[in-house]
Amino acid sequence: MAEAAPNTQKLDEYLKIVVQAVYSATSSGVAHIKDDPAAVERALADSKEVLDTVMEGHVDEWVD
């Protein structure tokens, strides 16, 4: 049987926060889709920033 990777709990916690941040940003953007295009753009930029951080893959920084 394979052993669990180190720091999986910390990584899971970090990724949960990431998902919550993206969800929050997108919810905010959707709420203003008809009345505030700038808010939608900010939501998209925030989501992109969070996802770019994840895609960089610096796991050691996330679990310290």
Q: For residue 2, is it within any domain?
A: no
Distance in angstroms (rounded) separating the CA atoms of residues 57 and 10 = 14
Q: Which residue has the tokens 């959707």?
A: 30
- pLDDT for position 58: 85
**Assessment of whether the complete model's pTM goes beyond 0.95:** no
Distance in angstroms (rounded) separating the CA atoms of residues 1 and 39 = 49
Q: For residue 48, is it within any domain?
A: yes
Question: 4-22, pLDDT tens digit by residue?
Answer: 777 788 888 989 999 999 9
Which amino acid, 59?
V
Q: For residue 55, is it within any domain?
A: yes
* Burial status of residue 43 (CB atoms within 10 A of its CB: 0-12, 13-18, 19 or more): buried
Q: For residue 22, is it within any domain?
A: yes
Q: How many domains does the chain have?
A: 1
DSSP state of 4: P
Q: For residue 31, is it within any domain?
A: yes
Domain carrying residue 58: 8-62
Question: 35-62, pLDDT tens digit by residue?
Answer: 999 999 999 999 999 999 999 988 888 7
CB of 32 closer than 8 Å to CB of 40: yes
